[in-house]
Amino acid sequence: MSVTGRADEGRNMKPSNMKECFYTPGRPGIIDVVNDDTKRGHYGGKTLEETRAEHPDAVVGDFDQVVDDQANYWRRAPVEITEEQFNEMLNCLPPVGWVGIGGDFESFKMCELDAANITGIYCRLGSRYFELHDDRYMRPNEIRALVDAAFPTSGGPS
């Protein structure tokens, strides 16, 4: 579950008869989702043993738990960045959810995802700039709260 409390919506894209997946513990990414009826990968059509020919440490895991673990792997706390870094990210791809509030706050998200629903999120508070990686569905007030918690002197409420 993300810090915002919303479940990963990517789960809605998997067929209902697929509750497990092949993955390698400690490594980002899911190798394949497992068809409950055939116990083979949905995309590759391979059994776990066949999958291990390419991924020797592959195991079967609960899909929802693995998605949560993957999201947590990619999630990053806010860090301060330069104005140049902020503008570079703003101009490299079309921003998602670009908003400005009251002249002293703006935020946007990258359109590309790191994994699951995790993406790069950028915000400006006054003359300071920040980057974090978290749920793409975070609202601006949630982004600001995370930055204010990490940087109490960022200009937000204490």
Instruction: Please name every residue paired with 121 in a beta bridge, in sequence order, or none if there are none.
Output: 109, 132
Higher pLDDT, 116 or 150: 150
- What residue has token string 């409950």? 36
Alpha-carbon distance 100 to 144, whole Å? 12
Mean pLDDT of 120-147: 96
Q: What is the pTM of this model?
A: 0.74
| For the chain, domain boundaries | 9-73, 75-150
Which residue pairs from 43-51 have beta carbons closer than 8 angstroms and sit at least 24 positions apart in sequence? 48/22, 51/22
